[in-house]
């Protein structure tokens, strides 16, 4: 079968999947879950250098993609001078080229789309059906969450326009990079456009008011898809604009701070002079010397609001308008799924703690940023902490066994919070710890662990048997 050139893995609620590209002679093929696909001259759209058996060879780029649910896989392949997209082992139509960053799956995994070239013209292909030709197609296409609608940016005659469901919208001088998006329900589409030196937001084909500038990446939709918001600048002043209505002006509004809560409350961070504050539905909050990047944080139901703020050289976390104690630093604010509980990391004199519902826990030398997890019912919490050179998991305030290392991203709690799993390292060997019990030392954890939708914990490990490396799929009932 040949030696692997590049390995890809997928970790979803549907379990672990593994794919790799192999070379046999002068041909390459993609092996998915141990099943080899058809052979091609090259697998992948962008060539990178890889070493196999001590020799430099051309491998594939980041072009082998799993669908969001992990059930399907697609990649770009080359056959002679032609390129094509292969979906679930089935080769599609051949083209002169495939656009960078393609193909993409719809959110439900049912549809595959990509941009391709025929000579000097571009076409957009959905489920192997090409659309009309254009002089250029910009960035990746977008597909609505339900997979029913497709939109992309194209150019002809020096003008740029958005194609929605195969129909071109009005042309503009420029379409903002990364601005094109569908609402969550897929019923509406919005994007940033520029014409004659002015910027505007277009919603469902209807242009909004013109401003001097609107930052790329906007607009944003509300959770119900009925409202659109963005930050704009006019005559040196900044505004939050919601459904084409201009809110109060400020010296600065941080575009990345703009939020639309599910109940359509408008939240953002603004600056007037040297004063920083959070604005909620036009109401100006307490003033501070600074507010941390990436804030504010809304609870999943949108009813609660938190942010980290600075006074002098000290930081505090403000939750629902109430400021917590001062610390030397704070990080990683999060709410439980039901919004009833909140936690954040805090540092004082070089020691770190997790503050849960306003109450600080034990102090450690370090706490893994991004390691903390709530159970689905919100009643339990766990995180990874470091004391000296050793790491441990703290679950509901109780410390587990110590190890050389514990990997942040793989800490898993069951829905009820009564079971816990994570990946630890001891003496250079990785293993899974399940409810405090150490699994076998493996020669390498290849994928996972992940918690499948049926409540099964699953992971893939590599074990050596003589000169061979064997792959094992291990499952535990975890519900």
The predicted model gives 223-242 an average pLDDT of 93
Strand 297-298 and strand 290-291: pairing? unpaired
- 406 in any annotated domain: no
The predicted model gives 255-266 an average pLDDT of 88
- 453 in any annotated domain: no
Percentage, residues of the chain above pLDDT 70: 95
pLDDT of 141 reads: 83
The predicted model gives 281-293 an average pLDDT of 95
pLDDT of 62 reads: 57
The predicted model gives 124-134 an average pLDDT of 92
Nearest to 215 by CA among 202, 199, 195, 228: 199
How long, in residues, is the chain? 479
421 and 457 Cβ atoms separated by less than 8 Å: yes
Per residue in 37-85, pLDDT (tens digit) is 999 999 987 544 343 333 433 433 456 899 999 999 999 999 999 999 9
pLDDT of 470 reads: 82
User: Which bin fits 416, alpha (ψ -120 to 50), beta or left (φ > 0)?
Assistant: alpha
- 185 in any annotated domain: no
Per residue in 417-445, pLDDT (tens digit) is 999 999 999 988 889 999 999 988 877 78
pLDDT of 30 reads: 93
pLDDT of 57 reads: 39
pLDDT of 197 reads: 94
24 and 2 Cβ atoms separated by less than 8 Å: yes
Residue 14's domain comprises: 1-171
- 141 in any annotated domain: yes
Q: Count structural domains, the chain.
A: 1
Mean of pLDDT over the chain = 90
- Number of neighbouring beta carbons within 10 Å of residue 41: 14
Residue 33 in this model has a pLDDT that exceeds 50: yes
pLDDT of 48 reads: 40
Q: SS3 of 337, please?
A: coil
100 and 44 Cβ atoms separated by less than 8 Å: no
Nearest to 75 by CA among 24, 25, 37: 37
- 271 in any annotated domain: no
- Label residue 322 exposed, middle or buried (CB < 10 Å: 0-12, 13-18, 19+): exposed
Question: How many Å apart are CA 475 and CA 279, to the nearest integer?
Answer: 48
Question: How many Å apart are CA 262 and CA 264, to the nearest integer?
Answer: 5
Question: How many Å apart are CA 339 and CA 458, to the nearest integer?
Answer: 28
Residue 465 pLDDT level (bands cut at 50, 70, 90): confident
- 55 in any annotated domain: yes
φ/ψ (deg, to 5) at 135: -75, -30
Nearest to 368 by CA among 387, 341, 348: 387
- 23 in any annotated domain: yes
- 332 in any annotated domain: no
The predicted model gives 257-276 an average pLDDT of 92
Per residue in 177-230, pLDDT (tens digit) is 889 999 989 999 999 999 999 999 999 999 999 999 998 878 999 888 889 999
pLDDT of 100 reads: 81
pLDDT of 364 reads: 97
Per residue in 391-406, pLDDT (tens digit) is 999 999 999 999 999 9
Nearest to 451 by CA among 407, 425, 419, 405: 419
């Amino acid at each position: 079968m040949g030696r692997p050139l590049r390995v890809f893995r997928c970790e979803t609620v549907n379990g672990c999947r593994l794919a790799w590209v192999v070379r046999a002679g002068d041909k390459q093929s993609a092996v998915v879950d141990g099943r080899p696909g058809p052979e091609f001259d090259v697998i992948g759209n962008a060539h990178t250098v890889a070493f196999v058996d001590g020799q430099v060879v051309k491998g594939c780029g980041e072009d082998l993609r799993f669908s969001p649910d992990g059930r399907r896989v697609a990649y770009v392949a080359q056959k002679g001078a032609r390129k094509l997209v292969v979906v679930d082992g089935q080769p599609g139509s051949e083209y002169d080229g495939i656009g960078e960053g393609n193909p993409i799956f719809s959110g439900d995994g049912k549809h595959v789309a990509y941009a391709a070239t025929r000579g000097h013209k571009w076409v957009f292909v959905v489920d192997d059906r090409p659309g009309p030709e254009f002089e250029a197609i910009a960035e990746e296409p977008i597909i609505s969450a339900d997979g029913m609608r497709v939109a992309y940016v194209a150019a002809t005659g020096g003008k740029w326009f958005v194609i929605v469901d195969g129909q071109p919208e009005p042309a503009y001088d420029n379409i903002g990079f990364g601005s094109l998006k569908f609402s969550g329900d897929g019923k509406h589409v919005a994007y940033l456009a520029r014409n004659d030196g002015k910027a505007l937001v277009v919603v469902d084909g209807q242009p909004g008011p013109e401003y001097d500038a609107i930052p790329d990446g906007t607009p944003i939709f509300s959770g119900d898809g009925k409202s659109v918001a963005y930050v704009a600048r006019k005559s040196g002043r900044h505004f939050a604009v919601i459904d084409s209505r201009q809110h109060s002006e400020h010296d600065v509004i941080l575009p990345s701070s703009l939020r639309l809560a599910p109940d359509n409350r408008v939240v953002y961070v603004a600056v007037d002079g040297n004063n920083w504050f959070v604005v909620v539905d036009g109401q100006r909050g307490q003033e501070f010397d600074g507010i941390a990047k990436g804030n504010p944080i809304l609870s999943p139901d949108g009813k609660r609001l938190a942010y980290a703020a600075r006074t002098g050289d000290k930081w505090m976390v403000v939750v629902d308008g109430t400021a917590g104690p001062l610390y030397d630093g704070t990080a990683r604010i999060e709410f439980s799924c039901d919004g009833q509980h909140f936690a954040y990391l805090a540092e004082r004199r070089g020691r770190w703690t997790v503050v849960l519902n306003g109450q600080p826990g034990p102090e450690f030398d370090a706490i893994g940023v991004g390691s903390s997890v709530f159970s689905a019912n919100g009643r339990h919490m766990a995180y990874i902490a470091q004391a000296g050179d050793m790491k441990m998991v703290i679950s509901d305030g109780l410390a587990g066994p110590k190890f050389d290392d514990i990997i942040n991203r793989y800490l898993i709690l069951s829905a009820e919070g009564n079971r816990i799993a994570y990946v630890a390292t001891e003496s250079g060997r990785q293993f899974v710890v399940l409810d405090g019990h150490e699994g076998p030392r493996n020669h390498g954890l290849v994928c996972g662990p992940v918690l499948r939708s049926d409540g099964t914990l699953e992971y893939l490990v590599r074990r050596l048997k003589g000169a061979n490396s064997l792959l094992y799929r291990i499952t535990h009932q975890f519900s």
